[in-house]
């Protein structure tokens, strides 16, 4: 039985923090099962794809697609580990996160630090730049020289945002602790240790299956998973009715609840993405394990109406690129041009 009425919760965003505290505790047995049913199919699909290539059964490479889906899910488990919510044991979460980071090509400790900054500042116009997608206001864009505007338009182009960008980030950019060079020894240890583990793992796989099989199988899996991950992160914050505010007006609960979307995906996609589409709830309380997020929506269905973006709606989000401070919404380049 709900201890706080929906009416009270709707009128007080802070009430949600008390509500969500009931969902923070993970079931460690369930967490272990979730990890197993994600890793085992991924390894199996990878091996079958490699065998299909080696024996000339090219049609078998279609298995790369579900393998990429499982890699996305691996990243979502790593994501929960970064929040200390998967096993609720910092030692276990951190070392599992670091191990999974080898598969996702993501130095765990670097990512965790940047992601914590994102959670602490999402929707704050005065604290943009760490762990988020670069978003300019209409005024900032208009004040830029033409070279800057061109660079921003290229950055926002779908081919770059969801194709070239993820490939660059996961394969190249994350090999160095960019943006954290002065952050002490930890970012360097995280990056270099992850790089070493990736190199050793790649060398072992190449020795077993050959360079050709490794490149044909693993690179597409990483690229597909990376593109899907960036797409999810984009839709979670880059939707028309999102919320941004200056530092003096920014408020955590409001930004979490209204600046993050509820990406209403089909059940299968929800599973592969670790329910990360319930992003407004996740931002309100990052300690809720991914597999408990649907429980929150089940018990408090009014949350389904806040920031809801369907699969079809999300396709329309691609054109959004600038924050219009006058209308408090994200708009397209075309809309900004017509407003001049």
Cβ atoms of residues 257 and 284 within 8 Å: yes
By CB neighbour count within 10 A (0-12 exposed, 13-18 middle, 19+ buried), where does 339 fall?
Answer: exposed
Beta strands of 58-179 (E only): which ranges? 136-137
Euclidean distance between CA atoms 274 and 225, whole angstroms: 13
The sign of the dihedral angle between the CA atoms of 213, 231, 293, 130 is positive
* Closest-CA residue to 261 (of 228, 286, 293, 283): 283
Position 182 scores a pLDDT of: 78
**296 by DSSP, 3-state: which?**
helix
Q: What tokens appear for 146 in the block?
A: 């033409």
Euclidean distance between CA atoms 148 and 136, whole angstroms: 11
* Closest-CA residue to 195 (of 101, 113, 115, 131): 101
Euclidean distance between CA atoms 110 and 125, whole angstroms: 23
* Closest-CA residue to 172 (of 114, 223, 213, 210): 223
Q: What tokens appear for 200 in the block?
A: 């050793």
Strand partners, 309: 263
Position 11 scores a pLDDT of: 47
pLDDT tens for the chain, 340 residues: list them: 455 444 444 446 668 888 999 999 999 999 999 999 999 999 999 999 999 999 999 999 999 999 999 999 999 999 999 999 999 999 999 999 999 999 999 999 999 999 999 999 999 999 998 888 999 999 999 999 999 999 999 999 999 999 999 999 999 999 999 888 777 899 999 999 999 999 999 999 999 999 999 999 999 999 999 999 999 999 999 999 999 999 999 999 999 999 999 999 999 999 999 999 999 999 999 999 999 999 999 999 999 999 999 999 999 999 999 999 999 999 999 999 987 6
Euclidean distance between CA atoms 294 and 24, whole angstroms: 13
Cβ atoms of residues 77 and 86 within 8 Å: yes
């Amino acid at each position: 039985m709900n201890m706080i009425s929906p009416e009270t919760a709707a009128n007080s965003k802070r009430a949600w923090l008390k509500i969500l505290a009931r969902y923070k505790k993970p079931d460690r047995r369930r967490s272990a099962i979730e990890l197993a049913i994600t890793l085992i199919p991924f390894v199996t699909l990878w091996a079958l794809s490699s065998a299909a290539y080696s024996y000339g059964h090219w049609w078998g490479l279609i298995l790369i697609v579900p393998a990429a889906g499982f890699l996305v899910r691996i990243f979502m488990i790593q994501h929960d580990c970064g929040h200390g919510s998967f096993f609720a044991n910092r030692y276990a979460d951190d070392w599992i996160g670091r191990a999974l980071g080898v598969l996702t090509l993501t130095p765990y400790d670097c990512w965790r630090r940047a992601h914590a900054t994102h959670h602490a500042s999402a929707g704050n116009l005065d604290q943009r730049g760490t762990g988020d997608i670069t978003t300019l206001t209409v005024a900032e864009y208009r004040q830029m020289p033409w070279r800057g505007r061109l660079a921003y338009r290229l950055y926002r182009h779908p081919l770059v945002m969801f194709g070239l960008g993820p490939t660059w980030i996961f394969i190249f950019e994350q090999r160095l602790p960019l943006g954290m060079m002065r952050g002490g020894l930890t970012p360097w240890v995280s990056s270099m240790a992850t790089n070493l583990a990736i190199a050793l793992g790649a060398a072992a796989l190449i020795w077993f299956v050959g360079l050709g099989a490794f490149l044909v199988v693993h690179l597409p899996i990483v690229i597909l998973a990376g593109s899907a991950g960036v797409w999810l992160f984009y839709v979670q914050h880059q939707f028309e009715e999102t919320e941004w505010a200056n530092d003096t007006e920014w408020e955590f609960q409001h930004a979490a609840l209204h600046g993050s979307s509820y990406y209403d995906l089909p059940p299968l996609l929800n599973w592969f993405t670790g329910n990360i589409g319930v992003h407004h709830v996740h931002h309100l309380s990052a300690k809720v394990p991914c597999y408990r997020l649907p429980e929150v929506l089940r018990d408090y269905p009014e949350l389904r109406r806040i920031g809801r973006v369907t699969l079809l709606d999300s396709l329309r989000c691609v054109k959004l690129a600038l924050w219009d401070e006058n209308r408090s919404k994200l708009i397209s380049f075309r809309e900004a041009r017509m407003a001049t």
